[in-house]
Structure 1
C-alpha cells in the first residue's frame, strides 16, 4: 500500500473511514440543502438569513468549545461519538419531515441549526482526537490527512447529488437521506475492536481543567500563531456555502444544480490537498503560513472571474490551498500536543476555527447584500493575506530573524538567526519544535 494510504491497512481505521465517508456525504448534502432552503424557499434570496443560519449552527462551538474539550479528554470517546452522531441524525430527520410536510418555517431552521451546533460542539473535539486511538503514533499525520480526504471526497459527491435531488424533488428528501447517513458512523464505531485501540491518558476529574488547557496553549507560541491564522481564515474566508451561493445566484444567475456543482469542483482541489498532506508525517509551520497565503491569492483571483465557468475552475486552487492549510495545522497541533491535553487543545482549535463562523457569516452576508456577492470572497481573501503577513512579522521579530534570498544559491530563500551567521535555518519550524518540547 502506498505511503498516502498506509493507515488503511489497519482494520479499525478502515471501518472508521468507511462509516465517516458515508456520513460526510450526507453532511455535505444537508449543507447545500439547508442553504438553498433558506436562500430560495424561505426568503427572497437573503444572504443575511443564510449567514444567520450558519452562524447559529457554529455559535455553540464558540461558547462551549473549552468545556467540550474537557468532556473529550475525560470520557469514553466511543460512547460520546455514538451519542453525538445519533443526535445529529435526529435533527436532520426532524427538518426533513418538516420540509416534506410543508410545515417548515425560517425559525424551524434556526432552531434546528442551533441544536445541531450544540451537538457538533461536543462531537468535534472527540472526533478529531479519536483518530489517535485508531492508529499508532507514527501514522497519526497520515490518518488525519486521510480523514480530510474523506471529508472532501464526500464534498465531491454530496453537493452535486444534493443539487440534482433539489432540482427534482426539493430539499426535503436531502435532509432525510442525511439523517440516515449518520447511522453509518454509529455502526462503524460499534464494530471497532476495542482491544486494538491505542488509548491515551484520560484527564482526571478536578477543578480548573479548562484553565489548565488555556495555560497549556498560552505556553505554546507556535500553536497560538496557528490559531490566529486559521481563526481569521475560518471566520472571514471559508464561508463557501454562503459565498458561492450568492455568486452563483446573483452574479451568474444560476440555479440549484450549478450551485451544487460549484461545491463539487471546490472539493477537487480540497481532495488533492488532503491527499498531498497525507504523505507528510509532521508538517511545518511554513506550510501552514504558505498555504494560507496561497488561499488568499486564489480567493482574490476567483472573485474576479468574469464567467461562471472560469469562476468554477478558479475554485480548484482555492480548495487545494485551504485544505492544505487546514490539514497541516490540524496535524501539527495534534502531533505536538501532550496526549492528556489533546481534547482541550483541539476543542480550542475547533472553537476558534469553526466558532468564528457565527461572527463571520452574518458579516459576510451583510457585505454581500450591501456591496455585492463578489465582495464576500474579496474580503475573505484579503483577510487571509493580512493574517499571514502579521504572523510572519510576529515570528521574525520574536526570534530576531532576517530573510535572505539569493537567486544563484541553494536554497534560494533562507531564514537566518543572528547567532548562526551564514548558516540557514528555518526558524519558523525550529521555534515551533522548541516550544513543543518545552511544553511536553
Structure 2
C-alpha cells in the first residue's frame, strides 16, 4: 500500500501538471476560450457515454492487468501529445482526438485503480485507504499545479506532457509487484456449469445484459440513489468554488488574484484535513454523507454573507473539510456496499452520473451567478442544498418510524 500510495502521488503530480498546461496549450493553438472548454468537454464525454461499459470491463478483467495496461496506454497518449507539440504537428483536431482517447481509457482506468488499491488492505481498513488516496490527491493537486508553472517556464509546455507520461509509466511499473490481500472472485454471470455449451451470441448478450444489470442494481439500491441525488445538489449549486469564490473575492470583497490564491490554499488545507478525519470512519453511512453535505451548504450560506476576505479565508477551511469528508464517505460506500462482482459496474454508473452532473453544474451555476450575483448564488445554493437534505432526512426518519410501529403492532386473532 505504501508503494501504491507513492505511485498515486507521482501520478497525481503528473496529471495536475498536464491539466494545468492543457488549457494554456489550447489557448496557444487557437486563442479561443470556447475551444478550451470544448477540449475539456470532449475529454469528459466518454465518461458520460461509456462509463457503464468501462465498469463492466473492470468486473470482467483482472484488476492488476487492467490497471497496468491502462496506465501504460495513458502514458503513450501523453508522450504522443508531447512529440506532436515539439515538432509543430499538434493541431486542434489531433488534440481533441487525444483528449477523447484519454477520457475513454479513463473509464476503465479509474475504477480499476480504485478497486485495486482497496484489495491491498484488510476490508476494515478500506475507508482509511480511500481517505489516504484523497490526501494524496489533494497534495498532488497543490504540488502539481505549482510544478507546472516551473516546468513551463524552464522547459516549455511539452515537458509537462512528458512528465505526466513518466508518472503513468511509474505506476504501471509498480503494479506487477503489488500483492493484494484478497483477489475478487468472478461474479455469478461468469459461472457456467461443466458441459454447458454457450448459445450463439450468448457472450454478446451476457456482456450487454451485465451492463444493464449494473444500471438496474444501482437504480434499485436506495443508498446509491440517495448518494447520486446529494452529489447532484452539490455539483449544480455548490462545490464549484473555483468559480463562485473567484467571483466573490474579485467582486464584492474587492480582492485580486493574490487574495484568491490565499483562499484557494485554505480550501486545499481544509480538503487535506477532511480526508485525514475521514480516515477515522470505520463504517461510513449515507447519513454521514448527508450530514456533512448539509453542513457544507450551511457554511456556503455563511461564506456568501461574509463581510471580509479574512473571515472568508477562515470559513473556507471547514467548508472544504465537510466536502472532503462527504466525498470520502461516498467513495467508501460506493466501493464497499455492492457485492464484489458488481463494484466495477457500480463505479461505472457513478462515473456516468458524476460526469453528467459535472457538465451540468458549471453552466447552471454560471447562470445563477449572472442572475443573483456571487453572494446570492452562494446563499441560494446553500439554502437549497441544506434544505432539501434536511427535508429528505426528516421524511426518511418518519417513514422508518412508521414502519417500525407497524411491525411492532400485535396481531389480533379473529378465531372464535
User: What TM bracket, shorter-length normalisation?
Assistant: 0.7 to 0.9
- How far apart are residue 142 of structure 1 and its match? 1.6
- How far apart are residue 49 of structure 1 and its match? 4.8
Alpha carbon RMSD of aligned pairs, Å? 3.6
Matched, 1:357 2:346: no
Which of 141, 161, 165 matches 2:127?
141
- How far apart are residue 417 of structure 1 and its match? 6.1
Q: Distance in 2 between the 1:343 and 1:329 partners?
A: 15
Q: Distance in 2 between the 1:139 and 1:226 partners?
A: 22
Report the equivalent of 2:198.
none
Report the equivalent of 1:202.
186
- How far apart are residue 315 of structure 1 and its match? 3.6
> How big is each residue's C-alpha offset from its partner over 1:143-185, in whole Å with a ceiling of 9 and x where there is no partner?
1221122112212322233344456666443333222211221
Q: Distance in 1 between the 2:303 and 2:219 partners?
A: 36
Task: Identify which range, 208-217 or 270-279, moves more after superposition.
Answer: 208-217
- How far apart are residue 43 of structure 1 and its match? 3.9
After TM superposition, the structure 1 = structure 2 runs for residues 31-180 of structure 1, keeping only pairs within 5 Å, are: 31-38=19-26, 42-43=30-31, 46=33, 49-99=35-85, 107-166=93-152, 171-180=157-166
Check whether the contact 1:298–1:318 (CA below 8 A) recurs between aligned residues.
yes
> How big is each residue's C-alpha offset from its partner over 1:256-280, in whole Å with a ceiling of 9 and x where there is no partner?
xx87776554221111111111111
Report the equivalent of 1:254.
257
> How big is each residue's C-alpha offset from its partner over 1:118-147, in whole Å with a ceiling of 9 and x where there is no partner?
111111121222223212212222212211
- How far apart are residue 95 of structure 1 and its match? 3.6
- How far apart are residue 23 of structure 1 and its match? 0.4
Report the equivalent of 2:281.
280
Check whether the contact 1:235–1:353 (CA below 8 A) recurs between aligned residues.
no
Aligned length: 389
Superposition TM-score, scaled by structure 1 size: 0.75
Report the equivalent of 2:335.
334
> How big is each residue's C-alpha offset from its partner over 1:58-94, in whole Å with a ceiling of 9 and x where there is no partner?
2211111111111111101111112221222233334
Task: Identify which range, 273-282 or 386-395, moves more after superposition.
Answer: 386-395
- Structure 2: gaps (5+ residues): 191-202, 409-416
Q: Distance in 2 between the 1:283 and 1:346 partners?
A: 17
- How far apart are residue 365 of structure 1 and its match? 5.5
- Structure 1: gaps (5+ residues): 1-12, 402-415, 422-440
Check whether the contact 2:236–2:365 (CA below 8 A) recurs between aligned residues.
no
* Structure of higher CA gyration radius: 2
